[in-house]
Amino acid sequence: MRIYFVLFFILSSCCNSSSRGCSCNPEKPFVNNEAISWISPLYDQNTILINQDSIEVVLHKKYIDEDEYLGGDECGSVFKSYGSHNEIVTNSDTFPLFYVKALKNDLSFYSTYYLGVYNVEFKLFNNHNKSIKTQIIDSLINNQIKKTIFIENNSSKYDSVAFQKLYFAKGIGIISFTDSLGKTWKMK
């Protein structure tokens, strides 16, 4: 009789029988359309960048969408995230420059490491380090004002970051950056 009682208790426990049982109320998956609009267009593309010496390079944007599990071990949800890897392609090599990811209400920024996050709902930045400065500015692009995220690396301590300054326009992507050697590259 005792064995039946223990077996019944184990099998009827809500936490053991279902990850959705007990007090598990996982967040409903979503991605804010405003966050996605920063990464648009949602496809791979190449852009030509030119520097002050008239040297051209290709900026390759690789679009990514993937599933991410968020929550505890037994209680969570699968969220869709959207991102773009931006790499400089030369005749001899490819250099990772910048990665941005939209997940929930956030745009997360990476270079060789995590730089920070911009919450599109509250319009707030949270930088990973005080040496990284970020702000929203207006840029004139093709006779249109576009919201642009400006990121500046003010520390030689973080020289592994592939840029000193970077301008990322909403719905366009990288429009300009100053590399770690001080050369400025702009969209052609």
- Structural domain tally of the chain? 1
Residues 6+ apart with CB under 8 A from 161: 111, 112, 113, 115, 132, 153, 180
* pTM of this structure: 0.83
Q: Could you tell me if residue 82 is inside a domain? A: yes
pLDDT value at 1 more than 80 = no
pLDDT value at 16 more than 50 = no
Q: Could you tell me if residue 1 is inside a domain? A: no
pLDDT value at 187 more than 70 = yes
Range of the domain at 43: 31-69+76-187
Q: Could you tell me if residue 2 is inside a domain? A: no
Q: What is the pLDDT of residues 143-179, one digit of tens each?
A: 999 999 999 988 766 566 889 999 999 999 999 999 9
- Within 10 angstroms of residue 134's Cβ, the number of other Cβ atoms is 18
Closest CA to 98 of 151, 30, 24: 151
